[in-house]
């Protein structure tokens, strides 16, 4: 089996990406402190043509060398916006009919495996590396989705968790593409 060369991957140009149909998924980063995590989320968002990223609170914003290092140019393709308060973004999206989902361990959460979007646009909220999603944000969301875990640690790295959720929801929202 021969590994494909980059030229053989038939990737979109920046302009073609911007004009392409997007996955109806929005990512909201709630006070994510690591520049590398932010860059990694951008890169995953590019891979699955995510509609938009909201960077909220203390979350770092492009351009920054540490974001650029992990994003590999994805800050130029994925639409993004900075907002000071996550809760305001959630309230706006709720009024527009977007299903807002905190990715968190919480009472009455639904597992990612069981979560089935009903054709609507979905927004996922990813929280701070230490404190998670703010409680007021969890309270304002339509749903809470949990990634079940079976080891000794109680959480995943935010960029790893985001990648898992994006991958799962990409196929659910695009009906298996």
Q: What are 3-14's pLDDT values in tens digits? A: 999 999 989 999
Domain residue spans in the chain?
17-173
Name every residue whose Cβ is closer than 8 Å to that of residue 160 and which is 6 or more positions away in sequence.
none
Residue 94, token pair as written in the block: 């709720």
Helix (H, G, I), strand (E, B) or coil at 43: helix
If we measure between CA atoms, which residue out of 154, 108, 102 comes closest to residue 123? Answer: 102
**Global pTM value:** 0.96
- Tell me the C-alpha to C-alpha distance, in Å, between residue 50 and each of 10, 23, 24: 19, 5, 7
User: Would you say 25 and 52 are in contact if contact means Cβ atoms under 8 Å apart?
Assistant: no
65/106 Cα distance (integer angstroms): 35
Would you tell me which CATH number, out of the four given (3.40.47.10, 3.40.1280.10, 3.30.1490.20, 3.20.20.30), belongs to the domain 17-173?
3.40.1280.10
How confident is the model over 145-149, as a mean pLDDT? 96
How confident is the model over 164-173, as a mean pLDDT? 97
């Amino acid at each position: 089996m021969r590994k494909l060369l980059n030229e053989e991957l038939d990737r979109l140009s920046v302009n073609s990406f911007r004009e392409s149909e997007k996955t109806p998924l929005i990512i909201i980063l709630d006070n994510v402190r690591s520049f590398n995590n932010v860059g990694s989320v951008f890169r995953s968002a590019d891979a699955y043509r995510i509609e938009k990223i909201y960077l909220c609170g203390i979350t770092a914003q492009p351009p920054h060398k540490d974001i650029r290092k992990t994003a590999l140019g994805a800050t130029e393709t994925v639409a993004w916006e900075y907002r000071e308060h996550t809760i305001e973004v959630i309230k706006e999206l709720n009024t527009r009919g977007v299903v807002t989902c905190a990715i968190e361990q919480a009472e009455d959460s639904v597992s990612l495996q069981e979560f089935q979007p009903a054709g609507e646009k979905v927004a996922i909220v990813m929280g701070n590396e230490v404190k998670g999603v703010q409680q007021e944000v969890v309270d304002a969301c339509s749903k809470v989705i949990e990634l079940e875990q079976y080891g000794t640690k109680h959480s995943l790295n935010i960029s790893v968790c985001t990648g898992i959720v994006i991958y799962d929801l990409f196929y659910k929202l695009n009906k298996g593409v």
